Amino acid sequence: MTKEKLRVGILGATGAVGQKFIEVLDGHPWFEITALAASARSAGKRYAEAANWIGSSAIPPRIAGMEVVAAAPDLDADFVFSGLDSSAAGEIEPLFARAGYPVISNASNYRMAEDVPLLIPEVNPDHTGLIDFQDRGDGFIVTNPNCSTVGLVCALKPLFDRFGVDAAHVVTMQALSGAGYPGVSSLDALGNVVPYIAGEEDKVVTEPNKLLGRLTEGRIDPAALRISAQCTRAPVLEGHLEAVSVRFPGKVQAEDVKSALRAWRSPIADYGLPTAPARFIEVFEDARFPQPRRHVGLGRGMTVSVGRIRPCEVLDVKFIVLSHNTIRGAAGGAVLNAELLAKQGRLARRAY
Ligand code: NAP
């Protein structure tokens, strides 16, 4: 899009999400990593020394030798991605916005703040308009949702647009990588399911109504879905699987759901965003699918898979959703947010 690449800083670059940012941005046509920031524990070290790299491919050589710096708002960057731990994001992200940096965050701290867009580009690209009403300095903060909210809302959006949705019940089976590194103890994780993830259910219940809400006069008028969530941690490396049942205001059959998911056209389909998958939602007919190990990588981790669409004996229709938690649900989602903002002319070279 731009001839000159935009310079990108990563806050929390050494963490699990920070590492995914590095993988997703490697060779990116619009963005180039110019700064890596983390805590005082890492600052001053070469990236390869500071990070406990858990990626399956090697650290890109240019990144391995870069020095990690403190997460202070004097980075050589036009905007920053934040993969900061939420204990640090609450304080650090506003400092960057105040200093003029657009902050594209994964952390949960500002997701539900009234002036901060909570974005999935295929779902609510117009919510970036909230930035015009944000008063946090010359920069701004934009967030992406919780990794379990993402799969649920991507599957609900075409149904919400076509039929309306009254209520949804969701049970998640979430991958271990969602807990960062080292995350869940092996003695809890191996051959087991942990039926509790602190703070998760509240996010899955509240965030969808903001995402599916309407931007009017500088605020989001939230949707009014009733959602019940039970979140569990399963012994899977990548990919959150969710069992979803939906109630509609009118009569909707399983076949209607299938055709609505297949026919739905993303509002950013023609934007040419490099990280957008060719197919936003993949609908499976084979009752064994989708499965995390087999399908999590579809669309380079950005496609959301839906299968087992059938009548629900209690609500109306039920199905299974799979989404990649550290790509679609974290770093890839945030990079797509940045691409949307760049396309809308909301990211530019910063003058020094
Ligand atoms: P993580 O592996 O624990 O990484 C945390 C990062 O924050 C590290 O780079 C750490 O630097 C840095 N940090 C911690 N305290 C800091 C401080 N005081 N100042 C500056 N940097 C500090 O966590 P994660 O799993 O990557 O998650 C990062 C964020 O993304 C969290 O807010 C999480 O809720 C959110 N998120 C995670 C996922 C997922 O699938 N993992 C999905 C969606 C959202 P050091 O290495 O120097 O300590």
Is pLDDT at 2 greater than 60 in this prediction? no
By annotation, the residues acting in catalysis are 147, 240
Beta strands in 47-158, from DSSP E residues, in sequence order: 68-70, 79-82, 102-105, 140-143
Ligand 1 atom nearest residue 20's Cα? 26
- Whether 161 shows a pLDDT value over 70: the answer reads yes
For the segment 332-351, what is each residue's pLDDT rounded down to a tens digit? 999 999 999 999 999 999 87
For Cα atoms 214, 304, 191, give the angle at the middle one, nearest 5 degrees: 120
Say what the pTM is: 0.97
Whether residue 156 contacts residue 208, with contact meaning beta carbons closer than 8 Å, is answered with yes
Half-sphere exposure of residue 227: CA atoms within 13 angstroms, side-chain side: 28
Is 5's pLDDT higher than 90? yes
Q: Provide the percentage of residues in the chain whose pLDDT is more than 70.
A: 99
In this predicted structure, what is the pLDDT of residue 121? Answer: 98
pLDDT at 325: 97
Q: Which atom of ligand 1 is nearest to the CA of 107?
A: 32
Is the previous residue joined to 208 through a cis bond, with omega within 30 degrees of 0?
no
Considering the chain, what percentage of its residues have pLDDT values greater than 90? 97
pLDDT, residue 289, reads 98
For range 79-106, the mean pLDDT:
98
Residue with tokens 């379990």: 148
Q: What is the whole-number distance in angstroms between the Cα of residue 268 and the centre of ligand 1?
A: 29
Confidence of residue 352 (pLDDT cuts 50, 70, 90): low
Question: What is the distance between the alpha carbons of residues 341 and 50, in angstroms, rounded to a whole number?
Answer: 31
CA–CA distance, 97 with 311 (Å, rounded to integer)? 47
Distance CA 152, CA 188 (A): 26
CA–CA separation, 218 and 206 (whole Å): 20
The 10s digit of each residue's pLDDT in 11-66 is 999 999 999 999 999 999 999 999 999 999 999 999 999 999 998 899 999 999 99
Q: What is the pLDDT at residue 56?
A: 86
Give 270's contacts (C-beta < 8 A, 6+ positions apart): none
Residue range 215-268, pLDDT digits in tens = 998 999 999 999 999 999 999 999 999 999 999 999 999 999 999 999 999 999
Give the amino acid at 232. Answer: T
**Residue of 327, 283, 345, 338 whose CA lies nearest to 121:** 338
Please give the full DSSP string across 34-74, using - where no structure is assigned: EEEEE-TTTTTSBHHHH-----SSPPPHHHHTSBEEES-S-
3-state secondary structure (DSSP) of residue 279: coil
Ligand 1 pocket mutation pick from 23, 24, 47, 85 by most atoms within 8 angstroms of CB: 85
Write the CA distances from 338 to 78, 103, 308, 345, integer angstroms: 11, 9, 33, 10
Q: Are 105 and 92 in contact (CB under 8 A)?
A: no
* Ligand 1 centroid – CA 340 distance (Å): 24
Give the residue, out of 10, 11, 14, 17, with the most ligand 1 atoms within 8 A of its beta carbon, to mutate for a pocket test: 17
E strand residue ranges, the chain: 6-11, 31-38, 68-70, 79-82, 102-105, 140-143, 167-174, 214-216, 219-221, 226-233, 240-247, 281-283, 304-311, 317-323
Whether the predicted pLDDT of 74 surpasses 80 = yes
Q: CB within 6 Å of ligand 1 — which residues?
A: 12-18, 38-39, 41-42, 71, 83-86, 88-89, 106-108, 147, 177-178, 180-181, 325-326, 329-330
Helix or strand (DSSP H, E) at 25: helix 16-25
From residue 127, how far is each of 56, 113, 148, 208, 309 by CA, in Å? 35, 13, 20, 13, 30
CA distance 103 to 49: 26
DSSP string of 282-325? EE--STT---HHHHTTGGGGTPEEEEEEEE-SSSSEEEEEEE-T
CB atoms < 10 A from the CB of 180, how many? 15
* Mean pLDDT, rounded, of the chain: 97
Is pLDDT above 60 for 1?
no
- Judge contact between 85 and 108, C-beta under 8 A: no
Domains (ranges, CATH) in the chain? Answer: 6-146+331-343 (3.40.50.720), 147-324 (3.30.360.10)
